[in-house]
A = this chain, B = another copy of it.
Amino acid sequence: MAKKAFISEAVIKRLPRYHRLLGQLEAENVSRVSSYDLADRLNVTASQIRQDFSNFGEFGQQGHGYNVSKLRGEIASILGLDRPHDLIVVGYGNIGRALAGYSGFRDDNFFVRAVFDVDPARLRDLPEGVEGFTMDGLPAYAASRNVDIACVCVPRSAAFGVAAVLDGLGIGRIWNFAPVDLSGVSKDIVCVNINMSDSLFVLSYYADAARRDGPESLPE
C-alpha cells in the first residue's frame, strides 16, 4: 500500500518499542529479523507488526524478513530521531531537574538547552551545557534560539498559564508533566502527557487485583 494518510495512536505508541528492540538487535550484530522473530521478543503477534509497518511503507523483503539497521533507520526517521531536537525545561523543580540532568535523551537526538523557573534561587547547579533563566527571560530566549519542544514541569496551578505563553511564542510542542489537559489551550498545541500519579494509581489497582483475584486479573 505505502504511506497511509492517518495512522492510529496505538500504532504510533508501539514504534518506540520496535525502535528500541532493533537497537538491541543491532548491538547483538543481528542483521536480519522476520516479523515472527520480532513478535516473539515483544510478545505480540507477527501480524500486528507487519500491519504496523505497512502503514508507513514496505520495509521488508519477501522470503527474507527485514534488515535490522535499515528498519531501525526507517522507524527512527518516522519518529524524527534522525535529527536533533532542542528542548527547554519550564519549571525547575524535582521533575525538571531530573529531565535536565538525564543524559540518555542525547543518544536519541534530544538536547535540553535551557531551563526556566520563576524562582531565580532554583537556577543553581545546572548540568553542563544547560543555561538557566527566570521565566521573564523566556520570550527573549525564544526569539533568539530554536526551541522544538518545551517540557512543562510546573505545578498544576501554573500549567495553563505556561502553556498559553508557550503557544504565544510558537512553541506548541509540549511534553507535559502537570496533571492537566493542555490541549484545550490552543488548537496548535501538540501535547503528550506523562502523568506519574495516574500511572501509580493504576499500579495500585493492579497490585490489589493480583492479591484478590490472582495473576489472571492482570492485563497483557
Chain A residues within 8 Å of B, Cβ to Cβ: 5-6, 8-9, 12-13, 15-17, 19-20, 43, 78-81, 85, 94-95, 97-99, 101-102, 104-105, 108, 110, 148-149, 172-175, 179, 181, 183, 187-188, 190-192, 194-208, 210, 213, 215-220
Collect the chain B residues with CB atoms within 8 Å of residue A5's CB.
Answer: 213
The reply to whether A207 and B173 contact each other, CB–CB distance below 8 Å, is: yes
The reply to whether B196 and A194 contact each other, CB–CB distance below 8 Å, is: yes
User: Which 9 interchain pairs have the tightest Cβ spacing?
Assistant: A16-B198, A98-B98, A192-B203, A9-B219, A80-B204, A94-B98, A173-B207, A16-B201, A94-B101
For the complex with contacts A9-B219, A149-B204, A175-B199, 6 further pairs of A-B residues with Cβ separation under 8 Å are A5-B213, A98-B98, A108-B200, A149-B200, A172-B210, A173-B203
Give the complex CA separation of A201 and B108 in angstroms.
Answer: 9
Question: Pick the contact of A203 from B94, B149, B198 — CB < 8 Å?
Answer: B149
Collect the chain B residues with CB atoms within 8 Å of residue A210's CB.
Answer: 172, 188, 190
Give the complex CA separation of A102 and B93 in angstroms.
Answer: 9
**Closest residue of B by beta carbon distance from A8:** B219
For A20, A192, A213, the residue with the greatest tally of chain B CB atoms inside 10 Å of its CB is: A192
Question: Pick the contact of A199 from B98, B192, B220 — CB < 8 Å?
Answer: B192
A203 to chain B minimum Cβ distance, whole angstroms, is 4
11 examples of A-B residue contacts, CB within 8 angstroms: A12-B206, A13-B198, A80-B207, A98-B98, A105-B200, A108-B201, A149-B203, A172-B210, A190-B203, A190-B207, A190-B218
The reply to whether A102 and B95 contact each other, CB–CB distance below 8 Å, is: yes
Give the complex CA separation of A218 and B12 in angstroms.
Answer: 11
Collect the chain B residues with CB atoms within 8 Å of residue A17's CB.
Answer: 198
The reply to whether B85 and A204 contact each other, CB–CB distance below 8 Å, is: yes
Question: Pick the contact of A207 from B104, B108, B149, B219 — CB < 8 Å?
Answer: B149
Give the complex CA separation of A167 and B78 in angstroms.
Answer: 37
